[in-house]
Amino acid sequence: MRIVFMGTPEFAVPTLDALVKKGANIVAVVTSTDSYGGRGGKQLIESAVKVYAVNHGIPVIQPSNLKSEKFLNQLKSLKPDVQIVVAFRMLPEAVWTLPPKGTYNLHASLLPKFRGAAPINHAIIAGEKETGVTAFRLKHEIDTGDIAIRRSEPIHETDNAGSLYDRLKMLAAEVATELVEHIETDSVVFIRQDDSLATKAPKIFHETCRIDFGKTAGEVHNFIRGLSPYPGAWCNIGGKEYKILDSRHEFHIDNHQPGDIVTDHKKILKVRCADGYIWFTSIKAEGKKAMPASDLLNGHKITVTRVS
């Protein structure tokens, strides 16, 4: 069975690797175009999927326009039986309808929950105890296709987006190998998604990472770990932006108001929320490395009484 694999970030690499090691016939990889970045914007950056494909002798296609005739002709010449997509761009209909056995996407949630670009982050932010990976066949609407396989993964209280990301990328690899076996034997059993149970996981922007201390301490704690280590929940202290990468919370009612800072200027740095306090345990100032709150307090005296 001829497979075209589509993906870009490191999250997709374990799936591609698992398929290669299973002996799948990956006839080409489709990934993002190279870009320049790094210090001075002079470093050529290749996608993690491209690096893997080149190292394993897999042909690489990097279209700048997924609707271009050139790209469509390249795909047609490959004569794929199926396309497997992991963390790639939205595909035009002419692309995802091309293979006779269909195009399948691996999504990092238990669909129909958390449809969208940031399912891992939003699952933690929402306080979910479980998420997973869903393989589904593409159709017109984003993340709405019929489900082929769904596998769950617990969300631990100690998880942040980074640790959950690491587990889900390996789970996705397991799901993909099972999926290919079912496709090869025409034994896929589809389940239609229940749209009434759908929730959204939209793309995350800098402004949406700002902490709202008017929420409960538990909600703020989940928000922080759902955005850690990247892109990082943040707040302003004394006019400077700080990312909060780790925290703990406590229920405690007193006379302070949400947003009030409480500190001993040595080890304790906490902020009042709606029903208690969020303790900052790892904090990152602009242009600096992450550090324990105690290190920040030793080097910078906090003179303000509120976050903003």
Could you give the count of Cα atoms lying within 13 Å of 86 in the half-sphere of its Cβ? 31
Q: How far apart are CA 9 and CA 165, in angstroms?
A: 12
Domains of the chain: 2-197 (3.40.50.170), 207-299 (3.10.25.10)
Q: Which of 47, 11, 42 is nearest to 29 (CA)?
A: 47
Residues 6+ away with beta carbon under 8 Å from 103: 82, 83, 84, 85, 91, 95, 96, 97, 137, 138
Q: Which of 41, 57, 134, 139 is nearest to 90 (CA)?
A: 139
The one-digit pLDDT tens for each residue of the chain (308 residues) are 999 999 999 999 999 999 999 999 999 999 999 988 776 667 889 999 999 999 999 999 999 999 999 999 999 999 999 999 999 999 999 999 999 999 999 999 999 999 999 999 999 999 999 999 999 999 999 999 999 999 999 999 999 999 999 999 999 999 999 999 999 999 999 999 999 999 999 999 999 999 999 999 999 999 999 999 999 999 999 889 999 999 999 998 899 999 999 998 888 899 999 999 999 999 999 888 999 998 888 877 777 889 98
Model pLDDT, residue 40: 65
Model pLDDT, residue 186: 96
Model pLDDT, residue 287: 87
- Beta-bridged to residue 237, according to DSSP, are 240, 307
Integer CA distances (angstroms), 256 to 73, 216, 266, 278, 308, in order: 65, 14, 20, 13, 15
Radius of gyration of the chain (CA): 22
Model pLDDT, residue 35: 87
CA angle 116/62/142 to nearest 5° reads: 20
Q: How far apart are CA 278 and CA 308, in angstroms?
A: 15
- Beta-bridged to residue 242, according to DSSP, are 235, 285
Continuous segment of H or E residues that includes residue 53: helix 48-55
